[in-house]
Every structure is written in C-alpha cells, then in structure tokens.
C-alpha cells in the first residue's frame, strides 16, 4: 500500500511552547518584525532587535523547525541509510558523514535497514516525506536510489554502487586493493588461495573477485574458479562451508576473506580447528576491523578508509546540492597493511 499512514505517532501533543507570536507580543512588535529581528534577514532597528531577543530568551523560544521547513520547502536535514550499525564499518561511515554534516548545520535522519531492500525502500519513502535535502546510503538494491533520484533528491551511494551514472558515488578501489592483497600472497609463494565471500554480485564482491582473479591471471591461474567460496549472508552457512573447506586434506594454503564479517567467521573457524596462522594457513582480509590488529598474529588486510568514505560522501552531497551536475564517482585507495597473518606456505604442501 503506497500511502499507509506512517503511524500517526503516539502520545499526546507536545505541551504548547512559545511561538513567534508570543515573542512578538511580549516585545510589543508584529510577528514580521520579530521574525526579522531573530533571523537577521531584513530591517530591524537595533533597539527593537534587542527587545525581541530578550523576549525570546525569557520565553525560551525555540523556532519550530517543521513550520520553517514547510514554508521554506527545504529542510536542513540529510537522510542516512546504512545496512548495519553494529558493523564497525558502517558505524564509522556514519560517524564520518555525521561530523561533516553537523559542522554544516545539517541534522541527520538515520535509518538502519538491516540489509533488507524492503526496509531500504521504506526508508526512501520516509526521507522523501521529510523532504530531506539529500540522502547518503550504502545501497542494497537500485530501487531506493532510483526512487529518490526520480523525485529530485540528491543521492550519494557509499561503498557499493547500483546506480552508476544516475547519482554520485564514493567507493573504494576494490579491484586494485584485492589484486594487491592477492599478489602479496602469491609473492610469498602461495598458489592455492581461496577467496571466501558472501556475495559476488554487488560492486564490492564483484570488484574484489575481479582483483583476485587478475592477480591469479598474472601467474596463469585464471582458471581457478573453483577456488572461490561464495556462501551468501547467512553466518551459519559461511561457518559451515568454511569449516568444511579448512578441514579438507588438501586445503588451501591461504584464504582471502572478502570483508570483516566473513573474516571474523573464517578466523574463528580456523582457530577452532586448530590451524596455526600463518604456519598452517595464511590469512588476509579485505576491510580492516579493530580486532584484526589485536589478535596474535595481526591480520594482514587492506584498510578501507571507512570514516573518510562517509566524510567524502557528505562533502560530495553538499556540493551536489549546491550545484547540480553530471554524477561523479570517487574511488578511494585502500592501503595494504601487513601484519603477521601471512607467511610462506609450509613445505608439506609441495607435491
């Protein structure tokens, strides 16, 4: 249903607060004058201005943002849609964006869509209803973005891209980073490298897969398609398939986890099974996460500049709101961080 009324809220109406009219009356001027005195737009005699300001202070007047937005048909508000706040990656993206936006006087309306495209679409409707000035999102489908763009809302896709050419995007260079990471393993002498990933369809999964393949192609191993373990998003399934993979007699000498969630599961399984890293298994991950620098040995990763991703996206959005133009895609680099989880493969794997 397209217009199910968004739950007309609960509770009682807020207790009446001072309005502009109250301030005006107390200062003995008209609403127009009070407005001018408070906003500083238009003429207001210094003496009158002081009186109005004083009246406002005494009444604890706080202008009603809804009324203001209604009249202005524009709100100093940005919609922010992420997939899962509990994942440090998204939390940092949100923090990065929040810093920039708050500094510019914008308020954030936050929605966590739990990775569901239905929730994502619902959030898009909410944003539109609030007439937000722009939207930042880590998309899980194309539809929400398209819906917003069609309705004239500036949108910036973050981390993943579903609507290339239709809106701005701030991504990381998944291909290059994944290639570097894989090359690193290859240089150490690894040949049986399995990539474990949840998906290979989105720009993230696809890009990382591509980089991984490129590196393998450089040593003539492009055909090793069976070396990719794509498990979907269900943690239990990832757990099961990983465990199965690592328990094989002829298991890979190195694994490449495609993001921090997968990495955590893989690492736990490897540890549980008793594989010593890096002696028995080299381990790399895409997307640095706090624990990766704390476990022993530390995990070799490419670090996504997650906070910067959010900050850049916010800056780009503000720019785009100021002056429309052709959509641009920004791609940030992910530095390779070498820690102790990678080493030469053990000799026993030689045939």
Beta strands in 68-192 (DSSP E): 77-82, 107-112, 134-137, 155-158, 168-172
Structure tokens at 318: 């503000």
Task: List residues near DNA by CB under 7 A.
Answer: 5, 16, 19-21, 28-33, 35-36, 38-39, 41-46, 48, 61, 63-64, 67-68, 70-73
Give the span between the Cα atoms of 270 and 230, in whole angstroms.
17
From 24-32, 87-95, 183-191, 340-348, give the range in contact with its own copies by CB under 8 A.
87-95
Residue 87 CB contacts under 8 Å (≥ 6 apart), including other chains: 260, 261
The binding track of 116-155 with respect to its own copies, each residue x by CB under 8 A or -, is ---x-----xx-xxxx-xx----------------xxxx-
Query: Least separation, in Å, of the C-beta of 296 and DNA?
Result: 58
Q: How far apart are CA 246 and CA 243, in angstroms?
A: 5
When the beta carbons of 8 and 326 are compared against its own copies, the nearer one is 8
Minimum distance from residue 135 beta carbon to its own copies (Å): 12
The continuous run of DSSP H or E covering 285 comes out as strand 282-286
44 binds, among DNA, its own copies, none (CB under 5 to 8 A by kind): DNA
**39 binds its own copies, rule: CB under 8 A:** yes
**Phi, psi dihedral angles at 171 (to 5 degrees):** -125, 175
- The length of the chain, given as a count of residues: 351
Binding-site partner at residue 75 among DNA, its own copies, none, CB < 5 to 8 Å by type: its own copies
Q: Is the peptide bond before 278 cis (omega within 30 degrees of 0)?
A: yes
Task: Choose the one of its own copies, DNA, none that binds residue 128, judging by a C-beta under 5 to 8 angstroms depending on kind.
Answer: its own copies
Q: Is residue 290 at the binding interface for its own copies, with CB under 8 A as the rule?
A: yes
CB of 103 vs DNA, minimal distance in Å: 21
**In terms of DSSP bridges, do strands 228-230 and 193-197 run parallel, antiparallel, or are they unpaired?**
parallel
265 binds its own copies (CB under 8 A): no
Q: Which is nearer to its own copies, 37 or 215 (CB)?
A: 37
**Six-digit token pair at 164?**
């290339």
Q: How far is CA 204 from the centre of its chain?
A: 12
3-state secondary structure of 250: coil
Site for its own copies contains 296 (CB under 8 A): yes
Least Å distance between CB 181 and its own copies? 20
Smallest distance, Å, CB 146 to its own copies?
A: 12
Q: 188, 295, 332, 337: which one contacts its own copies (CB under 8 A)?
A: 295
Nearest CA to 161 out of 334, 329, 327 is that of 329
Residue 283: φ, ψ to 5°:
-140, 125
Q: How many residues make contact with its own copies (CB under 8 A)?
A: 82
Closest CA to 138 of 210, 82, 211: 82
Based on the shown chain and the rule CB under 8 A, indicate whether residue 107 belongs to the binding site for its own copies: yes
Question: What Cα–Cα distance (Å) separates residue 100 from each residue in 8, 90, 231, 295?
Answer: 32, 16, 36, 32
Q: How far is the CB of 145 from DNA (least distance, A)?
A: 23
Binding mask 324-343 for its own copies (x = CB under 8 A): --------------------
Q: Which residue in the set 3, 249, 347, 351 belongs to the binding site for its own copies (CB under 8 A)?
A: 3
> Does 89 contact its own copies by CB under 8 A?
no
């Amino acid at each position: 249903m397209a217009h199910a009324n968004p739950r007309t809220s609960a509770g009682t109406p807020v207790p009446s607060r001072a309005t502009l009219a109250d301030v005006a009356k107390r200062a003995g001027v008209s609403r127009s004058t009070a407005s001018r005195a408070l906003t500083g737009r238009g003429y207001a005699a210094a003496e009158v201005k002081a009186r109005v300001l004083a009246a406002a202070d005494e009444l604890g007047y706080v202008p009603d943002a809804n009324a203001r937005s209604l009249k202005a048909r524009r709100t100093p508000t940005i919609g922010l849609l992420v997939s899962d706040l509990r994942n440090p990656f998204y939390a940092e993206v949100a923090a990065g964006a929040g810093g920039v936006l708050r500094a510019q006087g914008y308020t954030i309306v936050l929605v966590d869509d739990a990775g569901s495209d239905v929730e994502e679409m619902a959030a898009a409707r909410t944003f539109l209803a609030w007439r937000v000035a722009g939207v930042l999102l880590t998309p899980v489908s194309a539809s929400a973005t398209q819906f917003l763009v069609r309705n004239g809302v500036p949108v910036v896709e973050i981390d993943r891209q579903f609507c290339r050419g239709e809106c701005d995007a701030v991504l990381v260079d998944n291909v290059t980073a994944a290639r570097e990471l894989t090359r690193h393993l290859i240089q150490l002498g690894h040949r049986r490298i399995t990539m474990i990933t949840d998906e290979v369809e989105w720009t993230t999964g696809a890009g990382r897969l591509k980089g991984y393949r490129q590196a393998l192609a450089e040593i003539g191993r492009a055909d090793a398609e069976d070396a990719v373990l794509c498990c979907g998003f269900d943690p239990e399934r990832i757990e099961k398939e990983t465990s199965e993979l690592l328990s094989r007699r002829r298991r890979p000498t190195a694994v490449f986890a495609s993001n921090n969630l997968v990495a955590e599961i893989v690492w736990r399984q490897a540890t549980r099974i008793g594989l010593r890293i890096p002696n028995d298994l080299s381990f790399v991950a895409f997307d640095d996460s706090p624990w990766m620098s704390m476990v022993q040995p530390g995990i070799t990763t490419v670090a996504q500049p997650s906070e910067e991703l959010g900050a850049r996206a916010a800056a780009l959005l503000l720019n785009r709101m100021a002056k429309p133009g052709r959509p641009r895609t920004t791609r940030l680099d992910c530095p390779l961080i070498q820690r102790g989880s990678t080493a030469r493969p053990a000799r026993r794997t030689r045939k």
